[in-house]
Amino acid sequence: MPFFLIRRIAATLPVLVIVALIVFLMLRLAPGDPAAAILGDNASSEAMKNVRTQLGLEQSIPVQFFQWSARLLSGDLGESYFLKQSVTGLIAQRIEPTLSLAALTLVVTVLIAVPLGVLAAWRHGGWLDRALMGFSVLGFSIPAFVIGYVLIWAVSLKLGWLPVQGYARLEQGLLPWLRHLILPAVTLSIIYVALIARVTRAAVAEALTEDYVRTARAKGISEARVLVRHALVNAAVPIVTVIGIGIALLIGGVVVTETVFAIPGLGQLTVDAVLSRDYPLIQAITLFFSFLYVLINLLVDLSYLLLDPRIRY
């Protein structure tokens, strides 16, 4: 186990270096000029050249990469071209909304999707199964922005129950935080419930055909206990895997939901950075996401040890 951990962490480093190099090169080779975006429409060619020089963009790409790598190794991720703030600080500012949304979505999703999947597996082929799977296809097929706008129209504009936009930080209180996050979390949950419910259904349905389930039933154990303690626990590995993938997707892929609900999260920051060609910020965010994905994968792998004692690394 310790050897496995060291090996996995060591394997992370080349991944991060390759990601950093690819992102750096892609940014430098893609069209777009931060100087033009910084200076605005009235800027002259000369002013743009001056800004490019100040930002170090007139230097060759290898020199730029070397300088950036050297700073990175000393723990300095750089400063945003536009905001003149450290990119670490900017990421720290945006991480709370994104993690809050991801966490709440995950809680809502797991609480709904896993029981739904188990129920569908239990009534495999019946009307409940078909209804639940029909719902999951629907949930997965409707784009997030459509679900978001419909929820805003119904819950916020017509009923006036919840705010239509924005994010309240936890320091402002739990209730405002929750009020601002419910609709975006529900919007995202509809999609993820569909995904996780389907995987749960398949895994539990397969487990229910196993001999140990038949034995448990023959011993007169209650059906609820059979479903949860025997079938669900044994089907947990694929479910946890898809939940892990879901977390990674949630953290990196909530741009549409953040836009619809004006949540100042990492997704929005990424899009803004890309549109304005804020190279240091894009590079830092990409590295951060890469690190996060690796970490989530590691945790998912480790969870297998707890869920299935037969697995050994």
Tell me the two tokens of residue 10: 């060591």
Nearer to another protein, 134 or 173 (CB): 173
Nearer to another protein, 244 or 265 (CB): 265
Contact between 94 and 269 under an 8 Å Cβ cutoff? The reply is yes
CA distance 81 to 280: 7
CB of 17 to another protein, least distance (A): 28
Listed in order, strand segments (DSSP E) in 93-206 are none
Nearer to another protein, 92 or 138 (CB): 92
CA distance 264 to 266: 7
**Cα Rg, the chain, nearest whole Å:** 24
DSSP for 277-290 reads T-HHHHHHHHHHHH
Nearer to another protein, 176 or 238 (CB): 176
Nearer to another protein, 196 or 260 (CB): 260
CB of 50 to another protein, least distance (A): 6
Q: List residues near another protein by CB under 8 A.
A: 31-33, 36-48, 50-51, 54, 82-85, 90, 93-94, 149, 152, 156-157, 160, 163-167, 172-176, 259-262, 264, 268-269, 272, 275-277
CB of 80 to another protein, least distance (A): 8
CB of 58 to another protein, least distance (A): 13
Nearer to another protein, 152 or 247 (CB): 152
Of 159, 176, 157, 175, which is closest to residue 167 (Cα–Cα)? 176
Tell me the two tokens of residue 97: 């909304």
Tracing tokens 């020089």 back to the chain, one arrives at 53
Of 181, 187, 158, which is closest to residue 253 (Cα–Cα)? 187
CA–centroid distance for 98 within its chain:
8
CB of 92 to another protein, least distance (A): 12
Tell me the two tokens of residue 50: 């001056």
CB of 141 to another protein, least distance (A): 21
